[in-house]
């Protein structure tokens, strides 16, 4: 039972990890990706449509990443090059993404009598490793997206802290003038980073449609993009912190699903478990004291100011 | 006319037009002639009294949620949780109305319900403001998450204590006519809540620009540190601002439950928090501008619904969200062009002065 629960927790933390790492990388450069909820949704829809139409999960996942990147590109263009407010622009993108997905879902598939289904990603046990008792089942019997995340955490940590590119990204968020003087185009750095966040976010969205449920509904994301956004804050803008945060939230979701499945509703209302991750976010936001906020977070760079 | 106001009108008009044109393109993709459907919908809207009433009816809750966002925005705070505060107001409105109907006269009932919804939304808001003031919690995150928590509470109550007496669906009983907000215009669904919304918008304008409290709120908004130095308790302002903001969103629950729906169902008006934010931005957080921007959004949603119901053509009703989203994006882009124009004018002025 406990293995099952932990394995489920790791699975549910996959998209949150992807989303929060995307957010960490972007916010380190000074860009709050407040469009993350919309990017997740575009990814979920793109993944579903790509898979449903072509029958290939790989194409579906690529479509998801592409759609996530498109939403991020619009967001980045308005915020970086037109220097508009990030929270406001993000909200607009989120509304637009919701409208876009619902509209084209209806245009492509009409109003089907039974929900359209695709085969969700299967679990791939890794030979040898999955035979390790306890740990093997938890860590090495997951779907492909979780394995991708295993790679993304150390790679993003390494890139961010041990490479010139990482230094450039972090400096852009702390002191864009210095970056500019060094001959690097601040806006280009930020835009590229937002695009990467879009690719990751799209992949995260695909987890819900392609990787887990095997279908698309309008409220499939239901605020999880915002949770990823919160995890980035709570993890102190660090991939390691984000990883810990995402696993905690994944665990909360796994418990919610588990309690519902064993009929915990008799003692506690189901809604309490559904609200659990959100309550947890509020509690953690309140209790977190020291923040290492990137100095230029949310502030557009205007040359010669 | 003042060049800035002229710019604002022109750019916003172009932004709205651009939003509608691109929505039209989305219709062309699915082989529908946008000109015909838009024309038919707009003509119906302008000539049919009932439909025109619906535009103002739809605008009513939006005025409240837009004011809710705008009010915190003036203090450089973000209340993204208007949706949750609206749900809180709606829960209280239906619960109190069901308890009191038939026991007290309509006017007194409505006044009590209005005050209680205002307090309910305000308490949720004040809690967010308190967490911000006391623990320096990020109000953006907390308000965002509060919506989902209130939504869960809402669903729980609809399933249990507030469930209809028939016991079939997770929804409440309908309230009787005695608890309805009176009709404003015969032959339409428009109710007195619309007038209330306009009065409140004007009141908020007065509060912000003509009272000491409003001055303090705006001072904290423009520079919290400087305001603190001049003796303004910014923590108190955070809580007050969030209370008023939440109260405004809560009142939308009152007008929607007692004025339109007359019951509470699951997934009730899911988009009005986000639309309110868009409206506040469109109006540059000006309370009076919000009235007009809300009517515009009301018109968009009525036009979208009309197109969705048009016989012969098959327009998905989600065209409303698409239209609102595109209009919002272009309105934001319009800000860029306004700033650009403003800069150019300043430059010209300087060049002239130097040339003399």
Identify the H or E element spanning A72. Answer: helix A57-76
Residue A298 sits at the chain B interface (C-beta within 8 Å): no
Say yes or no for a CB contact (<8 Å) between B322 and A93. no
What secondary structure does DSSP assign to B301-318, as a single string?
Answer: HHHHHHHHH-SS----TT
- Cα distances (angstroms) measured from residue B28 to each of A158, A290, B316: 48, 53, 13
- pLDDT band (50, 70, 90) for residue B326: very high
Q: Is B76 on the interface with A (CB under 8 A)?
A: no
Q: What is the pLDDT of residues A110-134, one digit of tens each?
A: 888 777 888 888 788 877 777 787 7
The answer to whether position B341 is within a domain reads: no
| pLDDT surpasses 90 at A26 | yes
Top residue of A92, A232, A267 to mutate, by most chain B CBs within 10 Å, is A92
For A281, the closest of B141, B151, B339 (CB atoms) is: B141
What's the CA gap between A10 and A30, in Å, rounded?
29
Give me the pLDDT at residue A126, please. Answer: 78
Please give the residue of chain A at the shortest CA–CA distance from B142. A282
For residue A138, is pLDDT > 60? yes
Helix B287-309 vs helix B272-282: crossing angle, to nearest 10: 130
Q: Which of residues 294-323 of B touch A (CB under 8 A)?
A: 316, 318-323
Q: Give the CA radius of gyration of chain A.
A: 19
What is the mean predicted confidence (pLDDT) over A10-16? 91
Q: Which two tokens stand for residue A136?
A: 């093997």
- Residue B177, in any domain of the structure: yes
3-state SS of B13-50 is HHHHHHHHHHHHHHHHHCCCCHHHHHHHHHHHHHHCHH
Backbone angles phi, psi at A91, to 5 degrees: -60, -40
Q: What is the pLDDT of residue B270?
A: 83
The answer to whether A73 faces chain B, any CB pair under 8 Å, is: no
Closest alpha carbon to A242 in A252, A229, A253, A251: A229
Rounded to the nearest 10 degrees, the angle between the axes of helix B319-355 and helix A86-109 is 150
pLDDT interval class at A265 (50, 70, 90): low
Q: A31 and A79 in contact (C-beta within 8 Å)?
A: yes
In a domain, B345, yes or no: no
Chain A CB contacts of B142 under 8 Å are 282, 285-286
pLDDT score of B356: 66
A73: Cβ contacts below 8 Å, ≥ 6 apart: A194, A195, A198
Give the number of domains in chain B: 1
Give tens-digit pLDDT for B182-211.
999 888 999 999 999 999 999 999 999 999
The pLDDT of residue A264 is 61
pLDDT tens for B138-151 read 888 899 899 999 99
Please check whether residue B3 lies inside any domain of the structure: no
CA distance between the termini of chain A: 59
Q: How far is B325 from chain A (nearest CA, A)?
A: 4
B325 contacts A107? CB cut-off 8 A: no
Domains in chain A, please, with CATH? 2-122+137-287 (1.10.3470)
Which ipTM was obtained for this model? 0.87
- Chain A nearest CA to B167, separation (Å): 18
For range B303-316, the mean pLDDT = 85
Residue B14 lies in a domain: no
B residues 219..238 contacting A (CB < 8 A):
none
B336 touches chain A (CB under 8 A): yes
Question: What distance in Å separates residue A170's CA from the closest CA in chain B?
Answer: 22
Apex B286 CA angle, A230 and A78, nearest 5:
50
Band of the pLDDT at A76, cuts 50, 70, 90?
A: very high
Share of residues in chain B with pLDDT > 90 (%) = 60
Q: What is the pLDDT of residues B214-248, one digit of tens each?
A: 999 999 999 888 998 988 999 999 999 999 999 99
Q: Name the least confident of A182-196, B241-255, B315-329.
A: B315-329
> What distance in Å separates the CA atoms of residue A39 and residue A69, rounded to the nearest whole number?
8
Determine, yes or no, domain membership for B15: no
Q: What is the CATH number of the domain that holds B259?
A: 1.10.3470
Query: Does a structural domain hold residue B269?
Result: yes
pLDDT at B1 over 70: no
- C-alpha of B312 from chain center: 33
Q: Is residue B331 part of a domain?
A: no
Q: Report residue A209 as tokens.
A: 């449609």
Which of these ranges, A11-15, A290-294, B203-207, B259-263, has the smallest mean pLDDT?
A290-294
Domain extent at residue B65 = 33-43+50-313
């Amino acid at each position: 039972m406990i293995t099952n629960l932990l394995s489920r927790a790791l699975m549910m933390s996959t998209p949150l990890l992807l989303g929060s790492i995307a957010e960490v990388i972007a916010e380190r450069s000074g860009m709050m990706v407040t469009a993350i909820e919309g990017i997740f949704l575009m990814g979920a829809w793109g993944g579903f449509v790509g898979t449903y139409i072509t029958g290939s999960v790989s194409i579906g996942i690529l479509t998801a990443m592409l759609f996530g990147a498109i939403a991020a590109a619009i967001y980045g263009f308005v915020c970086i090059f037109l220097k508009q407010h990030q929270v406001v622009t993000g909200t607009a993108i989120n509304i637009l993404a919701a409208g876009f997905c619902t509209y084209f879902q209806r245009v492509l598939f009409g109003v089907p009598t039974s929900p359209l289904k695709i085969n969700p990603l299967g679990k791939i046990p890794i030979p040898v490793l999955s035979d390790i008792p306890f740990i093997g089942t938890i860590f090495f019997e997951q779907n492909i997206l979780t394995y991708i995340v295993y790679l993304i955490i150390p790679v993003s940590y390494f890139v961010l802290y041990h490479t010139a590119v990482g230094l450039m990204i972090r400096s852009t968020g702390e002191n864009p003038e210095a970056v500019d003087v060094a001959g690097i185009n601040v806006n280009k750095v930020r835009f590229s980073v937002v695009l990467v966040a879009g690719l990751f976010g799209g992949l995260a969205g695909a987890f819900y449609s392609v990787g887990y449920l095997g279908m698309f509904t309008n409220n499939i994301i239901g605020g999880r993009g915002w949770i990823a956004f919160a995890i980035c804050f709570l993890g102190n803008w660090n991939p390691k912190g984000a990883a810990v945060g995402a696993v905690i939230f994944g665990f909360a979701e796994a418990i919610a699903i588990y309690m519902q499945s064993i009929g915990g509703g008799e003692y506690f209302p189901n809604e309490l478990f559904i609200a659990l991750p959100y309550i947890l976010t509020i509690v953690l936001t309140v209790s977190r004291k020291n923040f290492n906020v990137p100095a230029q977070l949310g502030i557009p760079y205007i040359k010669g100011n | 006319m003042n060049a800035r106001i002229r710019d604002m009108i022109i750019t916003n008009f172009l932004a709205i037009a651009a939003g509608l044109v691109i929505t039209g393109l989305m219709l062309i993709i699915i082989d529908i002639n946008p000109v015909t459907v838009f024309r038919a919908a707009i003509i119906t809207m302008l000539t049919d009294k009932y439909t025109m009433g619906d535009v103002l009816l739809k605008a009513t809750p939006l005025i409240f949620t837009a004011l809710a966002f705008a009010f915190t925005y003036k203090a450089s705070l973000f209340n993204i949780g208007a949706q949750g505060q609206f749900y809180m107001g709606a829960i209280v409105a239906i619960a109190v109305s069901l308890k009191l109907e038939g026991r007290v006269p309509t006017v007194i009932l409505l006044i009590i319900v209005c005050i209680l919804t205002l307090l309910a939304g305000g308490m949720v808001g004040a809690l967010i403001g308190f967490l911000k003031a006391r623990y320096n919690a990020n109000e953006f995150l907390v308000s965002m998450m509060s919506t989902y928590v209130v939504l869960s509470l809402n669903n729980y109550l609809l399933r249990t204590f507030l469930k209809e007496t028939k016991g079939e669906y997770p929804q409440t009983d309908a309230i009787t006519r005695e608890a309805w907000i009176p009709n404003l215009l015969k032959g339409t669904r428009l109710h007195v809540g619309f007038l209330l919304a306009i009065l409140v918008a004007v009141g908020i304008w007065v509060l912000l620009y003509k009272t000491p409290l409003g001055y303090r709120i705006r001072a904290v908004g423009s520079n919290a540190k400087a305001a603190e130095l001049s003796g303004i308790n910014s923590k108190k302002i955070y809580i007050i601002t969030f209370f008023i903001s939440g109260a405004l969103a809560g009142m939308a629950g009152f007008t929607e439950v007692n004025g339109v729906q007359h019951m509470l169902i699951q997934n009730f008006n899911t988009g009005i928090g986000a639309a309110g934010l868009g409206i506040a931005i469109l109006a540059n957080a000006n309370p009076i501008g919000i009235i007009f921007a809300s009517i515009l959004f009301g018109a968009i949603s009525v036009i979208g619904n009309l197109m969705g119901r048009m016989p012969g053509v098959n327009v998905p009703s989600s065209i409303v969200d698409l239209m609102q989203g595109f209009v919002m994006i272009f309105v934001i882009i319009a800000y860029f062009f306004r700033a650009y124009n403003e800069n150019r004018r300043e430059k010209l002025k300087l060049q002239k002065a130097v040339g003399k």
